[in-house]
Structure 1
């Protein structure tokens, strides 16, 4: 829920003069709305004010700035690919969820990779699910460094890699759109196929998330394209990232065994993150989740879980919850959330590898040593 506060409260929290508050508002750094009780007064967005307060508290010390960049803080790596601005996700300045209404993953790949024609994720190999880790490891074993490779060359190789990953995730062979081949391989109808398309587009890229950062670090060393994607995949597999869908299933099992509220409290005591709920970028709710859940009726168990989490923590369902709910509603394979996440994000990783290779710098942060030193 968005919280709005009056001028005096905003000034107190920021510790600034009215002129400074108005300057923040005029520059768009603090959202402003009319007071519904008195239209002559303005209300100020508490989340925006909180973010500015945190930045001020960090100060301009290099150590504080560097540390904050590693924990949802100050942007550290320049990119033109995606960003979240005022609660909306954008791909190269285009509203990602607007694109998801009709675009295919191939069209989004062309946009993010910086090529003129959508790539074809074509494969005529025999269908059959294999391990995506094994696919990328085998390709990485013979892959060549990306240093000196141009965009078109990398985009060509990227299309082949994504095609191989699609087969590993159960897509039917052929040259049709990837979402259609996934639906065919999973035995889905046309309606489910379009839902898969939407989810793929919505999940393609998301700022500098953990797996994307891992892929960019690998790319900055000049590693091969499949090696960069393998770094991304290893990072994606964690239960605090792309593995959240599977972790959410375990949470649901605990809820059946212990009861809703006790299970949620146990998870909160064990790990500060609840799989499938909350997102630092979207305190009012993940718009990707809203898109994927639109028109889908979650099971009673999933709905009860979401209601209880909201009542206890104020956290809304995120994209991981939406993928899990969509999987149940459309009778997709039980690990479809991870497969969709992987295939979509592989396209995003390739875009970041291309961009990082063009930039040509080595990503090498330093550790802040806190141990003992010899006398």
Structure 2
């Protein structure tokens, strides 16, 4: 649901006069609707207001703009793979939630990679126990991506996804990946469809940290598995793909001292609340809403969600939804990370191909804030 605020709240957030607020509305920068409770008044989009306020705070200095672009700031890399627009995620202009209702991961890959025909992720011989080892084993001997066409890279990408799927527990064969994953995890067909939906929803998400890392590697011309490995290393962090493990720690705290106290404890340590809130979705994560349809959250997760909402107003995000799936569907404990990895590898490959065909070397400058050397007394 979209969040709307009254005029006084909008003026307070923007710290402007009413005339300036109306100017933002007239220029299309802030959406406005009549207040249902009093049609003489208007309500303003909280998302738009916060966006304008953020841009105002950054100012127009080049250094400020450049620095802010590295943390939820203005778009800095051209892409046609995906984007988040007014609280929804789109894959090449199509709503990802709608796509997840009907596409297999193979079909989603064809869309994101911009190639003809669904890709097959048949299993192969890997002989490795985890994704890091599997990628590292093939990265050194794989050719650079420079000079290689999209179709050529797509065939290699499909092979790598199949290898990662086997490492993540998928049954061998050439059936759809979600079916083989359900078989390997001992799940039924209906649960397999849930896995399919989750992987499609997690396939890409704008220029997130792991995708940026994969694109940086791609900009150097590194091999495809090396670029994917760069994304995987970034995904493993607790603020990204490792959020499910961090959420488990917070649930354990809630069981030990109570949900309200656990939330206060995490906030007092200046820690983000894993599984809740998302900067790009102030009105709620549509991916989580889709994955949670028809599922009842276990009591310990629901109690925690209620406490977070009461104290912060933050809503569950996709990490929380996958934690609910694990409990409600009896999935393996590592299922959230593995679903995230298998889905997001599709997006990484799309961005790697795009960077290879359209972009140069990604090499930002650092803004030095340390001691300035004394040029009058240079060191020997």
TM-score range, shorter chain: over 0.9
Identify the residue that residue 172 of structure 1 maps to in structure 2. 171
**Distance in 2 (alpha carbons) for counterparts of 1:92 and 1:25:** 28
The equivalences for 1:151-162 within 5 A come to 151-162=150-161
Q: Which aligned pairs between 1:1-375 and structure 2 lie closer than 5 A?
A: 3-7=3-7, 10=10, 13=14, 15=16, 18=19, 21-22=21-22, 24-25=24-25, 28-125=28-125, 130-375=129-374
Q: Residue 269 of structure 1: CA displacement?
A: 2.6
Deviation at 1:111, TM superposition (A): 0.6
Give deviations 1:162-189, integer Å, cap 9, x for gaps. Answer: 0000000000111111111100100100
State the alpha-carbon separation in 1 of the partners of residues 221 and 293 from structure 2: 42
Query: 1: distance between equivalents of 2:213 and 2:99?
Result: 26
Deviation at 1:267, TM superposition (A): 1.7
Structure 2: 5+ residue stretches without partners: 375-380
Aligned CA-pair RMSD: 1.8
Q: Work out the CA distance in 2 between the residues paired with 1:11 and 1:274.
A: 29
Q: 1:24 to 1:249 in 2, by over 3 A?
A: same
Moved more, 105-114 or 255-264: 255-264
- Aligned partners of 1:270 and 1:10: how far apart in 2? 30
CA distance in 1, matches of 2:45, 2:75: 22
Q: Provide the C-alpha distance between the structure 1 equivalents of 2:361 and 2:192, rounded to a whole number of angstroms.
A: 40
Give 1:125 shift: 4.1
Larger mean CA deviation between 161-170 and 267-276 belongs to 267-276
Counterpart CA distance in 2 for 1:24 and 1:173 is: 57
CA distance in 2, matches of 1:309, 1:17: 34
| DSSP-derived class of the 2:44 partner | strand
Q: Give the TM-score, by structure 2 length.
A: 0.94
* Residues 6 and 42 in structure 2, CA contact (< 8 A), matched pair in contact too: yes
SS at match of 1:89: strand
Is 2:124–2:162's contact at 8 Å kept on the other side of the alignment? Answer: no
Residues 324-362 of structure 1, C-alpha deviations (whole Å, 9 max, x = no match):
110111111101000000000000000000000011311
Structure 2: distance between partners of 1:28 and 1:167: 49
